[in-house]
Structure 1
Amino acid sequence: MSTDVAAGPLRRRPRDRFRRRLVASLTVFVLVGAVAAVVGSQQGPRLRDVSYDPSGLVSRPAQRVILTANQALQRVAADAVTVTPSAPHTVTSSGNTIAVEFAGPLAYDRSYEIAVDGVRAPGQPATSELRTTIRTGSTDVLALVPATGGGKDRIVRRSLDAGGATTVYQATGITEYARLGRSLVVVSGTDGSSAVDIVPLAGGVQDDSVPVEHLTLPSRDGRVTALHVADDGASFGFEYADTTTGQSRDVGLYVVDMTGTHLPLPVGEDGKARAGATPITVAQWAYVPRTESALVRTGSDDLVLIDVSGRVEPVRLGSATYLHGFVGSGTSAVVETGTGIVRLDLTDGRRTPLVAPAASTDAAYLGRIAQLDDRTYVRVVGDVRADGTLAQRIVRVEGSRASRLPVVVPSDASVTAVCPSPNGQFLAVTTRSASGDLVSIVDATSGALEASIDAGSVDWCGALPSGDEIG
């Protein structure tokens, strides 16, 4: 009997010890949680994560930097956010995130500090400041280097912050090219007959492990010109002429839906791409930035805004004798009419005369206008020398002031294009002379030379509407 009484407490002791440890652990957790809550209420929210696309920030408007806090936040007012150096932006907040959206592309390869003042968690008295520094991406260009000595044409990538160039793709008879997401669209051909290839890229160069896609064109022989790609990479288009009979037939606009069959389809007068349609004639065209809509100047000088997807009816926007390009985010276009140059609002058709100081128009030759931002553009103008050649210069217009951009154009060369970088910070000035083609990348404000490439064109020019320079 005595043995049984003694054995009972001994069997219960391990359980008692477990209970005591469990209670102690729970007490510690509760205390830690309480301390954390007290500290959080005294210190305010803290920054947990920052996400952004460095290349998107310099190439497209409406790009966001997302700041994520370690707890939910009260609504953050726009004036609580400061960006240094200053850049136009809007602010939205939800849950534990703050989104800073920039109105336009930022400068290349630059640090921006974002500070959010007075951040508070719901129901907590303490406030804090969230602060971070982001770094935008550097820029590079794709340039077409013509073949020498019977070799192949090369598309090369040149970074402005490093010397040398990397060959992205090479082939015979390349005439046009454009970036398409992680691929290149390349037009090549000789004797008036073209081929269109989609070249997969890996690490910025051709991916040899994936075959090149050769598009089936509308006819056995045809000529492809005026290649343009939508910003989202969902489609691209070109002007096509059937040359099977030796003469150009069914000349007009064709588009390729990359989400569908990849077959080029003609865009009809009704603005819809479908097999068998009679293609709309094209004098100039380009995709409107950040959309799948295309602005077309037809062969009869009508301006038509077409939704390439076919979901929206085409919009007639009057007439124009030349389509210069787009302004900023693309809601306006610069067009030339019989009475002058205007900014055309693509949302309502309203036309506003373009500010053109005398120094930007007092010349025998007036070239294409390349808009840098809402207030600033550049234009090539020129005077005729005594020997009949043209002495060209680049004029920069900012507001109502015009000044010469100090870019040297050799006397034996002619400027064939001036193409802004996506953020308007640089210009690609393409020139042609007896010794060959040259692309000079210059600062759009100072004219300082950043880089030069022995090439005929760069991909920045693909954003401008196709068409010859005007005189």
Structure 2
Amino acid sequence: MSTESEPRRPVAHRFRRRFTAVVLVLVVVAALAAVVGSQQGPRLKSVSYDASGIVSRPAQRVIITANQALQKVSADDVRVSPAAAHTVTSSGNTVAVEFAGPLAYDRSYTVTVAGARAPGQRATADLRATIRTGTTDVLALVPGTDGAKDRIVRRSLDASGATSVYQGTGITEYIRLSRFLVVLSDSDVGDSRIDVVTLRNGVEDPDAPVEHLTLPTSEGHASALHAADDGASFGFQYADTSSGQSKDVGLYVVDMTGTHMPQAIAADGKPTTGAVPMTVSQWAYVPRTETALVRTATDELFLVDMSGRADLVRLGSATYLHGFVGTGTTAVVESGTGIERVDLTDGKRTAIVAPAASTDAQYLGRIAQLTDDTYLRTVGDVRGDGTIASRIVRVDGSRASRLPVTIPDDASLTAVCPSPNGQFVAVATKSPTGALVSIVDATSGALEASTVGEDVDWCGALPSGDEVG
């Protein structure tokens, strides 16, 4: 008995059936996903931020990205815990949370976008991201003894001990400049040299040669070393001593994006090779800019664009420069009428509140501004031997209180310098047994860390010059 086999369907026909089935499955899955998405609301896809920048500079952002486009998000929709002043912008599926000032070190923050909703959907969801801020460190100079070299050491606040960053002879000043360390050293007769040291993993790179800068004259003395925050330039004061006398004493700049040759800042505020430099009593870079605030030998106050792209701006006069408010747009200066904040955008001045407890001392030192309304000030009484018994006063608005930091009776307070975010303060003291840098909480005075040394790098943000008396 024989049977006839069923006719085979063409291969193309079978392929079309399978393709159609796959497409139908994908359509169903997509439809189900859309239904689920509309019921669940948006979900967090990613979060990005700079853990180091967010604790050292204002206007840093956390970028929150959702898995789908979002309706416009306002500042009222975003919560930050612990609380931190912020603004919000949103576009597409991203929300940018920008902080007004630096955040605290080594701390977790939760950023929540409440009630996020995709366009055309009813379901809402909270997008919640947790970020962890970075920690910080401080550099200090440890002078060599008994023929040993001077050392620049790094003390991290989240680890014990100090790490040697660089060693040299006759080191007097130094600055951090991006991935470089600029070191100013003096010979036995007072002539200066400036070296640019490449860093790797935070210490001198043994495989990179040290760059020795060519200074303006064959013999001369440099001081007041300062660096721009972006690492594009640094400057210093220089005196030509090749004739045996100091002459052409003034401000010079080194463009790190160019030839690395020092140029004089001329009287018109422009970097000019071979010019007679602008005379300077105090100066420092305005935070986060290439502009310098300069007090001249005649107590005139100027804003100088060290890149030469903008014209000189005169801001009246000042008898002392204390420093800058954390945002960088305001300077604290002293004049004949008292201590004032100067708005560097328009030159307007506002008197600083000085409660009686912050001025009832024989010695009134530098103001270290922490926030718009809070500052520290060194004050003290003169001992019988002429030394000063110093203390640190914290001023919050109209209230002044002593910061509980212990300064040994045989020690002199040489510097009080805030960390980049104002959370901590480096307190430098010197006694017959040596120099010590203590890192303390700027609010409580609690000791966080300490290291042997002097000339703290945090102080490089303050204008050069002697303490005001």
Q: TM-score, normalised by structure 1?
A: 0.96
Task: Name 2:426's counterpart in structure 1.
Answer: 428
Matched, 1:53 2:50: yes
Task: Name 1:75's counterpart in structure 2.
Answer: 72
Shift of 1:189: 2.2
Task: Name 1:265's counterpart in structure 2.
Answer: 263
One-letter amino acid of the counterpart of residue 46, structure 1? R
Correspondences of 1:314-329 after superposition (within 5 Å):
314-329=312-327
Residue of 288, 295, 320 corresponding to 1:290? 288
One-letter amino acid of the counterpart of residue 198, structure 2? P
Task: Name 1:163's counterpart in structure 2.
Answer: 160
Q: 2:194, 2:68 → 1: CA distance?
A: 52
Moved more, 154-163 or 205-214: 205-214
Q: 1:152, 1:35 → 2: CA distance?
A: 72
Query: Contact 1:192–1:243 at 8 Å: present in 2 too?
Result: no
One-letter amino acid of the counterpart of residue 347, structure 1? T
Task: Name 2:186's counterpart in structure 1.
Answer: 189
Query: Contact 2:173–2:455 at 8 Å: present in 1 too?
Result: no
Task: Name 1:109's counterpart in structure 2.
Answer: 106
Moved more, 381-390 or 197-206: 381-390
Q: 2:387, 2:225 → 1: CA distance?
A: 31
Q: 1:179, 1:97 → 2: CA distance?
A: 35
Shift of 1:426: 0.8
Shift of 1:6: 8.5
Task: Name 2:89's counterpart in structure 1.
Answer: 92
Q: 2:386, 2:167 → 1: CA distance?
A: 38
One-letter amino acid of the counterpart of residue 36, structure 1? A
- What is the number of equivalent residue pairs in this alignment? 465
Correspondences of 1:44-443 after superposition (within 5 Å):
44-190=41-187, 191-443=189-441
Shift of 1:328: 1.8
Task: Name 2:445's counterpart in structure 1.
Answer: 447
Q: 2:387, 2:458 → 1: CA distance?
A: 28
Q: 2:432, 2:352 → 1: CA distance?
A: 36
- Inter-CA distance 82–196: structure 2 relative to 1 (3 Å threshold): same
Structure 2, gaps ≥5 residues long: none
Q: 1:30, 1:244 → 2: CA distance?
A: 85
SS of the residue corresponding to residue 22 of structure 1 reads helix
Shift of 1:406: 0.9
One-letter amino acid of the counterpart of residue 236, structure 1? F
Deviations along 1:309-353, one digit per CA (max 9) or x if unpaired, are 222111101111100000121111110111211111111111111
Moved more, 37-46 or 420-429: 37-46
Deviations along 1:269-320, one digit per CA (max 9) or x if unpaired, are 1111121222100100000011111000001110001111222111101111
Deviations along 1:351-409, one digit per CA (max 9) or x if unpaired, are 11110001111111000000011111111111122343321111111100111111111
Measured on the aligned residues, the alpha-carbon RMSD in Å equals: 1.4
Query: Contact 2:330–2:341 at 8 Å: present in 1 too?
Result: yes
